[in-house]
Structure 1
Amino acid sequence: MFKDKLTLATPILAFVIMFIFSLTLFPTVNPTPENLPVAIVNEDEGMEVNNQGSINIGETMVKNIREAGSSTDDDEAAVKWVEVKNKEKVVEGLDNQEYYAALVIPKDFSEKQASLKTNHPANPEIDIIINQGMNAAASSMANQMLNQMVDQLNQQLRAQIFAELKTADTAVSVSQAEVLAEPIAVNHQNVNAVGENSANGNAPVSLFQPLWIAVMAIAAILFIAVNKMTVHSRKENITIKVGQIVIGLFASLIIGFGLPWLAEDLVGMNIPSFMDTALFLSATSFCFFLMILAVLSLLGIKGIAIFALLLFFGAPLLSMAPEMMSSFHQTWIYSWLPMRFLVEGLRELFYFGQSFSWDLISVQFWIGLVSIIVIFLTALKLKPKK
């Protein structure tokens, strides 16, 4: 036994296997956002001040926020601030999944902030809009960063006003003291909300794993069953391939309609539109089945290891926003995961009010079409008879 090279290499193989599968844990240990797109809108109309002319505190605030964000390297900045003209454009961008959150400064911000030094103070307000459905974890992180930023603004503003009042030797009224405790009021709003019974916004990822494993199993079973047959002609081989595809189509329909039924009726998951979800899952399952079958037709049953590795490496990444991954995982792993189109499509169906359409399955369609071509090309080659 000790003369066998493979036996002697077992400790090394054990380390290599452990290292490969440990890579699946690295992205989720300490996710740090980089260039997380957040919209900022200044609708402040400003005001006229005696001996000072026109002032616009909103513009000053936006300038300070952008300077603070650009004080570090842009590639490592946690937030990428995107200036937008008005709130309507922001809502449109949130629906198009362009921003994880938005900060809106209203029209009367300067006027209300100036009132803090008077006997009739009014809290200036800021709107924080969270795009919850885009990615629950990233949106929550954006919400925390925006709240921390407003807390810092409150501390600075409170210290500034108290210093000016102290210099002017002006007493602070009870109403002023109450307002100055939190000078800037925050209005929170969630758009494209994930709602209840949605696995905290990770319902699309929860549906991915059983679908992917089922499709892998079907493709492997059909390949093994057909591989045992003795084929006498290319025509017969093509007929068998057609049979595989037809059976895979029926199996995909069972997966597509059965998975949301199980999730909704047995688990209690909130499925906004059963029919749209079932059609999308059926189409995606069929395209993935064709892709796996094509690879097995080229490489043999050992090709199933590729899709098993995709499952292990892909599952941790699919629940994360791309901006929270390292550049390596974002460029070389996440961008090559075919199942990300499944998760992204489900997010649009569940949280963004989309319905089943060509836009949701266009990429999967081309994957399936190329796979069918590969399957039939492999059918032209006969395996040698034993």
Structure 2
Amino acid sequence: MLKNKLIIVAPIIAIIITCIFAVVQIPGAKQAPKNVPLAIVNEDLGVDIPNQGKMNFGATLVDMLNQPMKETSGEAEPAVKWIAVASYQEAKQGMDDKEYYGALVIPEDYSVKQASLQTSTPSSPELKIYVNQGKNATASNAVTQILNGIVDNINHKVSGQLIEGLKAHSGNLTIEQASVLASPITKTVTYLNETRTMGMAPMALFQPIWMGSLMAAMLLWVSQKKMAYTSKKNKMVTISIQVVIAAIASLLIGFGLTWLADGMLGYDIASFSDTAIFLTITSFSFVLMIEAVLMWIGLAGMPIFVLLLFFGAPLLSMAPEFMPSFYKDWIFSWLPMRIMVEGLQDLFFFGKGLTWSGPISTLVWIGLGSLIVLFLATLKPQRVNSSNGHKAVQEI
């Protein structure tokens, strides 16, 4: 038994698999927001205060929020990266373009209302919170907590300042002042590009598409593996037939999965045709990519796609800004299924149809590149095989 090589190999394989699964789980267990892009809009017009001149409490608030970014400059990355935007419309456009996870809007009467807090007839200033839910369903919860926490901190500071001011003047509180003292700043939270019950739908559809494409490519590769070709032209014809069959399989995968999701699984799909066509293009691109790798390096290429499945599943539900740097730079950015998730987000949450720009063009280029690599496989070295007096070439 000790002479059996498996006895030596088994512990090595065991530790390798253990390490792989541990590395896969790290991103989900260690989420820390870094430089999450949030828009900040200061529409505050300011207020004239007797003996103090022109005051703009909105600008003061913006400086206060930017202070942590200045303090951590060159050191640890701040959790939030504030991006100044001129207007709410510009911020909304940025959220529609998936540039920002959310926005904090300071209205034009913010200073006037904050100054009124010192008077006998106070009026609570309001801050408007916008959360771009469609950009990432998981991150939207964290962004909501971050923005709510920021407003709560502002409330705490303003409340403390009001109490100190009242102590200094030893004045009596009116009913109106007492009612706003604990929470002088109000807030409204609005979700844009809402996910409704479909928040995890793009990630849920990834695994069926990937596994279906993987099996289709694997079966196509196995079907031609032991074939003997009379010429390179004959092999090119065979590959062409494989591409046609891959297209048919992708069509069935794309439309079949959309039908299941829309009909049986109860997904709220706005456009059946757009979703089905997009999934068909995605599957065709994946099949060609996997088939091209298998044609060149054979079964040794399978672990690559299995590992992509393991690493992709937990990462696709996360926002890049919440990942450790290694995963963000070296794994997530190279995941081909990331493009599929982004395309489904556009279709499900942002009301975008099928357009050449964005995920569609990327998937098409991946497919074309894979197609070229696939046909270049005809240049692989061949060995001559004779059977029944006929000569043929067989792939090595």
Aligned to 2:153: 152
Residues 112-153 of structure 1 deviation map (CA, whole Å, 9 limit, x = unaligned): 011112221111000000000001121211110111111111
Contact 1:234 1:382 in 2 (8 A): no
* Letter paired with 1:312: F
Aligned to 2:143: 142
Unaligned runs of 5+ residues in structure 1 are none
Contact 1:224 1:301 in 2 (8 A): no
Contact 1:125 1:184 in 2 (8 A): yes
1 CA distance for matches of 2:230 and 2:22?
46
Residues 319-378 of structure 1 deviation map (CA, whole Å, 9 limit, x = unaligned): 110001111001111111111111111111111110011113111111111111111111
1 CA distance for matches of 2:360 and 2:171?
66
Residues 57-114 of structure 1 deviation map (CA, whole Å, 9 limit, x = unaligned): 1111110110133322465210011111111111111111111010000000010011
* Letter paired with 1:331: D
2:44 matched to 1:47?
no
Aligned to 1:86: 87
1 CA distance for matches of 2:362 and 2:137?
24
Q: How does 1:205-220 map to 2 (within 5 A)?
A: 205-220=203-218
Alpha-carbon distance, 1:12 to partner:
2.1
Q: 1:45 to 1:252 in 2, by over 3 A?
A: same
Alpha-carbon distance, 1:5 to partner:
3.9
Alpha-carbon distance, 1:383 to partner:
3.6
**Structure 1 length normalisation: TM-score?**
0.96
2:369 matched to 1:370?
yes
Alpha-carbon distance, 1:382 to partner:
6.0
**Structure 2 length normalisation: TM-score?**
0.94
Aligned to 1:122: 123
Alpha-carbon distance, 1:385 to partner:
4.5
* Letter paired with 2:372: I
2:235 matched to 1:237?
yes
Residues 274-301 of structure 1 deviation map (CA, whole Å, 9 limit, x = unaligned): 1111111111110111110100000112
2:277 matched to 1:276?
no
Aligned to 1:38: 38
Residues 240-294 of structure 1 deviation map (CA, whole Å, 9 limit, x = unaligned): 1011000000000111111111011111111121111111111111011111010
Alpha-carbon distance, 1:165 to partner:
1.1
1 CA distance for matches of 2:159 and 2:89?
31
Contact 2:57 2:110 in 1 (8 A): yes
Contact 1:44 1:106 in 2 (8 A): yes
2 CA distance for matches of 1:385 and 1:214?
35
Contact 1:131 1:191 in 2 (8 A): yes
Q: 1:18 to 1:55 in 2, by over 3 A?
A: same
- Which has the higher mean CA deviation after the structures are superposed, 148-157 or 7-16? 7-16
2 CA distance for matches of 1:315 and 1:282?
20
| Paired residue secondary structure (2:196) | coil
Aligned residues: 383
2 CA distance for matches of 1:344 and 1:204?
8
2 CA distance for matches of 1:118 and 1:166?
14
Unaligned runs of 5+ residues in structure 2 are 386-396
Contact 2:38 2:101 in 1 (8 A): yes
2 CA distance for matches of 1:224 and 1:109?
68
1 CA distance for matches of 2:286 and 2:211?
11
Provide the identity percentage. 47
1 CA distance for matches of 2:232 and 2:162?
86
| Paired residue secondary structure (1:97) | coil
1 CA distance for matches of 2:380 and 2:9?
37
2:21 matched to 1:11?
no
- Which has the higher mean CA deviation after the structures are superposed, 207-216 or 171-180? 171-180
2 CA distance for matches of 1:139 and 1:71?
26
2 CA distance for matches of 1:22 and 1:153?
40
Aligned to 1:184: 185
2 CA distance for matches of 1:98 and 1:385?
57
Aligned to 2:68: 68
| Paired residue secondary structure (1:117) | coil
- Which has the higher mean CA deviation after the structures are superposed, 157-166 or 247-256? 157-166
Aligned to 2:133: 132
* Letter paired with 2:179: E
Alpha-carbon distance, 1:17 to partner:
1.5
